[in-house]
Amino acid sequence: MSTEAKAPSRAILYALMFGPFFAMFDAGLINVGLPVIAREFGAEMIDAQWVTSVYLLAISALMPIFGTLSDRIGRGRIYNLGFFTISIFTLLCGFAPNLPLLILCRVLQAVGGAMVMANGMAIATESYPASERGRNLGLLASMVAVGSIAGPSIGGVVIGMFGWRVAFYLTFVVSFAAFAVTFFAIPRKRRSDAGLKHFDHAGAVLFALSIFAFIYGVSGLGGQGAHAGAAHAALLVCAVAFPLLLWVERRAPWPVLDIGLFRNRVFSSAIGASVISYATMYSPTILLPFYLQGTLGLSPQAAGLYLLSFPVAMALLSPLSGRLSDRIGSRPLAVAALVLNGLALIAFGLLTPAMPQWTILLPLFAMGVGLGMFQSPNSSAAMGNVPREKLGAGTSLVQLTKNLGMVMGIAFSTLAFSLLMAGHDLADAQAYLASARTVYWVAAALSFLGAWIASLRGQPAAPPR
């Protein structure tokens, strides 16, 4: 019996790999189908994009709620129920007769997604020895990259041949397979339900409102007319709701947002570095397709192949960096990754059409290496400094900061680029290059700042397990 306790089944880890794979596979698959969905329902693209945007909004707002809840009633139960919920509403997405019902099904699908995302790393952390944490989280991170590669490529083929509804039927098959595997592989340890009596209802509402308003507001910055007004109103709501949330959480016995976790220097440094890392690493995602297709004249297919170098590099590095962090710690890897990311962003700013087209692969691959080198060691550092009874809350915060970083990076690059390009057309190559260079170099400076923050974490003792 003691041997079994020290050597838990690897089936748990393999089952957990469904979570990060499905998240990126589903996102890539659906993104490819947005133009087709818009045409079928006679909708504008700005309305059809809510099929993907509302999922990110809902999952970000709900993750910490389910993370805290899982700490009370059991992670395995919430995780498995999450895949069941995803399966049901993914199937209903495929039968949606109109755009509003499709968007509603995506919101309900995100409820299941939040259950899964809030618990994957927590289960991996508590199920295996600390000496294996980096390696295990590295394997989970590599599945993010695999899903990023598989989603758009398979989605393009499936939607082109059979239509967008079949894409949802395919994701239903994947999610139901995940439900079946996790049902048998992941232990459902029952915890006391006493914590439900003290569930932080006020904190849950305020947190969801704050995150929803923040993401909606930041995403809408730079919009025109009613969209700009709605974005500003959302940010005002966030400015009121978030301080009220902090006031409520300091008094709650079981807070949804556990502010006490940030008193740990390693955890708070890892969270801060994560926001900056994802903001800077995803800031080029809006600008690069315009450069590849508009400035260099590449076809969408060719541009997509170039952009694949990012997730490929990440898939290769994530398992290796996770394993290495178990030996040398997370700090040197996180610092090196953010420095490499900053250098790649500087290189993006130096690109010109006169250079060979393949040269863009170098900074793209370097950024993928950087994210692969950063993600699992940084997550391992954060999770290693969360008490066992709060692993769900810790996981949800780690995952949330990735979403917030991506949203802020894309919003910053879009807004800054739009302001710099004022009065110029996208076809103006010189104006495009000068504007993009400024965006890239500001992002590079932020990446170097993130490296400094990562260097401050030190190696204090982990909390008692």
Q: What is the DSSP string of 193-227?
A: THHHHT--HHHHHHHHHHHHHHHHHHHTTT--HHH
Q: Please tell me the predicted confidence (pLDDT) of residue 196.
A: 58
Residue type, position 216, single letter: Y
Neighbours of 239 (CB within 10 A): 13
All structural domains of the chain, each given as residue ranges with its CATH number in brackets, are 1-200 (1.20.1250.20), 258-457 (1.20.1250.20)
- What are the start-end ranges of the E strands in 330-401? none
Report the C-alpha gap between 117 and 65 in whole angstroms.
11
Q: Please tell me the predicted confidence (pLDDT) of residue 90.
A: 94
CA terminus-to-terminus distance, the chain: 20
* Binned average pLDDT, 10 residues per bin, the chain of 465 residues: 54 88 83 81 76 84 86 85 94 92 93 90 85 85 84 80 89 92 82 62 88 82 69 90 90 83 88 88 77 76 78 86 86 92 92 85 90 88 85 85 83 81 75 87 92 76 42
Q: Are 215 and 225 in contact (CB under 8 A)?
A: no
Exposed e or buried b per residue across 140-164, where buried means at least 16 C-beta atoms within 10 angstroms of its C-beta: bbbbbbbbbbbbbbbbbebbeeebb
Q: Please tell me the predicted confidence (pLDDT) of residue 224.
A: 64
Report the C-alpha gap between 395 and 212 in whole angstroms.
19
Tell me which residue has tokens 């130096």: 350
Q: Are 144 and 24 in contact (CB under 8 A)?
A: yes
Report the C-alpha gap between 274 and 287 in whole angstroms.
22
Q: Please tell me the predicted confidence (pLDDT) of residue 151.
A: 81
Contacts of 321 (CB under 8 A, 6+ apart): 134, 138, 333, 337, 372, 373, 374, 375, 376, 377
List Cα–Cα distances, 422 to 107, 287, 365, 416, in angstroms.
36, 15, 31, 10
Residue type, position 32, single letter: V
Q: Please tell me the predicted confidence (pLDDT) of residue 2.
A: 41
Report the C-alpha gap between 85 and 163 in whole angstroms.
24
DSSP 117-155: HTTHHHHHHHHS-GGGHHHHHHHHHHHHHHHHHHHHHHH
